[in-house]
Amino acid sequence: MQDTFKEKIAGEIVLSPDPGKTIRKWREEFGISQHQLADSIGISHSVISDYESGRRKSPGTQVIKKIVDALIENDVANGSPTIKKYDNGEGMDCILAMGEFPEGIDMARFIRAIGGRNIGYQGVQKKVYGYTIVDSLKAILSLNSSDYMKIYGWSIERALIFTDVHYGRSPMVAIRAHPLTPAVVVYDKPDNTDELAIKLAQLEKIPLVETDMDVKTMIDKMNRFKERE
């Protein structure tokens, strides 16, 4: 699992439009200071600061490897609390399906594929690198803060698709309260999406999509994305 996790983090940094910001996100997720990270890989903490602020151009692959190795090794030394958060979510009844895409899917293409309508953020949007389909009622009743991390799978740049949605307040409130934000939130057959959910999506700059597509068909669409073209 550690090697796969390393690959996912490194890939996210390399593919990110802002690698420094992504490095900072993962450093903070692992609870490591700039000084600790710099000491672990034998460089000045000002170099880490320069990467994260964008003052220094994106690090090369060897530096990224050292950063990722240091994050994982530090976590293992502390009992692997972060690694355990990012397991595959097996045994969680609220997760109906999840998967990763071999490459990023353009947001407009993704929304078209699921017959969706974006009622949230309309600005510059991320690509989608995976999906998790969640039974929202079961999630509300069963997920604690640690379990919540598991719905993000191996990449936060993913679609969180919620079924059994009435007004959609709870999923967006939970997302806003969490330090990680998905690429897009999808409500499957919502009764009537609340204005508060829409407002929160706009504040967090997250497309909020409504779709009437049934879950089985949606999973079929996701599986097609998983096949390299």
Structural domains for the chain: 2-85 (1.10.260.40), 95-225 (3.40.1390.20)
Q: What is the tens place of the pLDDT at every residue in 28-54?
A: 989 999 999 999 999 998 999 999 999
Orientation of helix 61-77 relative to helix 2-15, angle to 10°:
140
Tokens at residue 223, please? 């599986």
- 206 falls in which pLDDT band (50, 70, 90)? very high
> What is the Cα–Cα distance from 57 to 26, expressed in whole angstroms?
18
State the pLDDT confidence band at 229, using cuts at 50, 70 and 90: very low
The C-alpha atoms of residue 207 and residue 186 are separated, in whole angstroms, by: 8
Per residue in 53-97, pLDDT (tens digit) is 999 988 888 999 999 999 999 999 998 888 877 655 444 678 888
Please give the single-letter amino acid code of residue 208.
L
List the structure tokens of 12.
């996210």
Enter the tokens of residue 69: 């190795």
Chain-centre distance for alpha carbon 100 = 11
In this predicted structure, the answer to whether residue 208 has a pLDDT above a threshold of 50 is yes
pLDDT at 9: 86
Q: What is the pTM of this model?
A: 0.62
Looking at residue 165, the DSSP 8-state letter turns out to be -
Q: Could you give the angle at the alpha carbon of 189 between the alpha carbons of 173 and 210, nearest 5°?
A: 65
